Amino acid sequence: MAAKIAEVEVICSDKAEHRRRIETRPADIIGHKLPSWLDVVGRQYDRWDRQHIVIDTAVKGVDENVTDLVAQMGLEK
């Protein structure tokens, strides 16, 4: 059986919602320091220069995004 590989970029296009998520998420690993909003917006981001799948969590929920990802990968049953 051949393996299927896909490059997937997960984004949140709603800046206010993205910030809210960053600022309110709990740390779930003891001793791990989560990045601040300033850390997130200040990081280097290199735009993708090749074809990939984009999943926007601001637009759809988890179930819809999983369904879309499976469809875009051609894994529908």
Mean pLDDT on 44-68: 94
What's the mean per-residue pLDDT of the chain?
92
User: pLDDT digits over 13-49, tens only?
Assistant: 999 999 999 999 999 999 999 999 999 999 999 999 9
The secondary structure of the chain as a DSSP string is -------EEEE---HHHHHHHHHHPPP-STTPPPPPHHHHHHS--PPP-S--EEEETTTS-HHHHHHHHHHHTT---
Mean pLDDT on 49-72: 94
* Residue 2 pLDDT: 78
Report how far Cα 58 is from the mean position of its chain's Cα atoms: 10
Label residue 77 by pLDDT band (50, 70, 90): low
